[in-house]
Amino acid sequence: MNSKMVHDTEDKIAYNFFESVINLRESIAEALMKAEKVNSSINEQISSYGFELLDEKLPDLGVTLNNKLVEIYQQFKESKVKVFQSQDKNKKFVIGLVPMLVINSLIERAVDAYRNEMGLYLQEAEGLQEQKEKNKEKIKEKSFITVLIIAIRTVFNEELAKKFYFDEAEVEDLRTKLEDYKKATEDIYNYDFKTDIIDIIAEGLASQNLSLEVIEDILNSDVVDTLEKLGLSDQMPVLRQKINQIIKSQNDSKKTWELSDEEKERANDYDSRDEDIITVTLEEDYEK
């Protein structure tokens, strides 16, 4: 039996969709709490070493993602592009093709940053912290004289000292991983889907192993109208060229479009365009 579709205002459906990614936001928030806690603990240990301390307040990737999704929805809406068509009682959403590709691309970026940037950071930071604490606990079981001898040796033996204390190289490696996470979050904060929309559509369509005829139907029935509403109708030759390139890279024998010299030139101009994008720091957002 088909699920009964819920017909509601688009804003209401949009709200429900944003709420549907709450599990991801909560997972990110939990990871941030762990990172800030372990950073605080590490800072207590290294504060007397003269090392630069690790950040104990980090930008919230989940909040940044949510705000950007709302912003993208508003941009589509202002351009008269319908994003959310409907949803069923199980909160499965019917989303317009181009908005869906853009939204999926953004969420994938956020998931990648959460799993790889923050995930790798926590794995290393918590692992180092746990191992050093275990080594310290083992020492407590030794006699006073043994503990004293080991303490003296750590002053002159860097490798032995690393078993119990963070050295500068370890702290800097952790800081680099934190910067990777902050950079990934800032990229989402500054994300302008119109900059990448041609690549997003091309990859989304060409990756489905569809025939050129089916792709042509999709372009004519949906994509052309959406790009026109976004003021990007002049990018259709670029989109066709991108799809051609992806199809050729997958299977050189598959049929592709024949583009005119003018269309090829326009596509090449797009590839060589200046991508000097103005970015905005997140510091004001998360240092309050």
Look at residue 284 and tell me if it is in a domain.
no
Provide the number of structural domains found in the chain.
2
Last residue of a domain, one of 174, 189, 204: 189
Q: Which amino acid is at 62?
A: G
pLDDT of residue 33: 95
Look at residue 276 and tell me if it is in a domain.
no
**245 and 176 together in one domain:** no
**64 and 138 together in one domain:** yes
From first to last of its 288 residues, what are the pLDDT tens digits of the chain?
Answer: 334 444 468 898 888 888 888 889 999 999 999 999 999 999 988 887 778 899 999 999 999 999 999 999 999 999 999 999 888 777 778 889 999 999 999 999 999 999 999 999 999 999 888 876 766 665 555 544 454 444 444 443 454 444 446 788 888 999 999 999 999 999 999 999 999 999 999 999 888 888 888 888 999 989 999 999 999 999 999 998 888 888 877 765 555 545 555 555 555 555 554 443 333 333 444 343
**159 and 128 together in one domain:** yes
All residues at 6 or more sequence positions from 45 whose CB lies less than 8 Å from its CB, including other chains: 165, 166
Nearest to 178 by CA among 118, 231, 222: 118
**168 and 200 together in one domain:** no
**91 and 117 together in one domain:** yes
pLDDT of residue 8: 63
Name 87's bridge partners: 6, 93
How is residue 102 written in tokens?
């853009």
**54 and 149 together in one domain:** yes
pLDDT of residue 261: 57
**177 and 98 together in one domain:** yes
**69 and 137 together in one domain:** yes
Look at residue 109 and tell me if it is in a domain.
yes
Last residue of a domain, one of 166, 189, 212: 189
**199 and 177 together in one domain:** no
How is residue 148 written in tokens?
């004293």
Sign of CA dihedral 62, 68, 74, 80: negative
Q: Which amino acid is at 117?
A: E
**50 and 100 together in one domain:** yes
Q: Which amino acid is at 134?
A: K
Q: Give me the domain span that covers residue 262.
A: 193-271
pLDDT of residue 267: 52
Look at residue 223 and tell me if it is in a domain.
yes
pLDDT of residue 71: 95
Pairwise CA distance, residues 46 & 42, whole Å? 6
Q: DSSP states of 24-93 as a string?
A: HHHHHHHHHHHHHHHHHHHHHHHTTTTPPPPPSS---HHHHHHHHHHHHHHHHHHTT---EEEEETT--E
Nearest to 235 by CA among 277, 193, 207: 193
pLDDT of residue 24: 92
273 phi-psi bin (left φ>0, alpha ψ -120 to 50, beta other) = beta
**249 and 157 together in one domain:** no
**156 and 249 together in one domain:** no
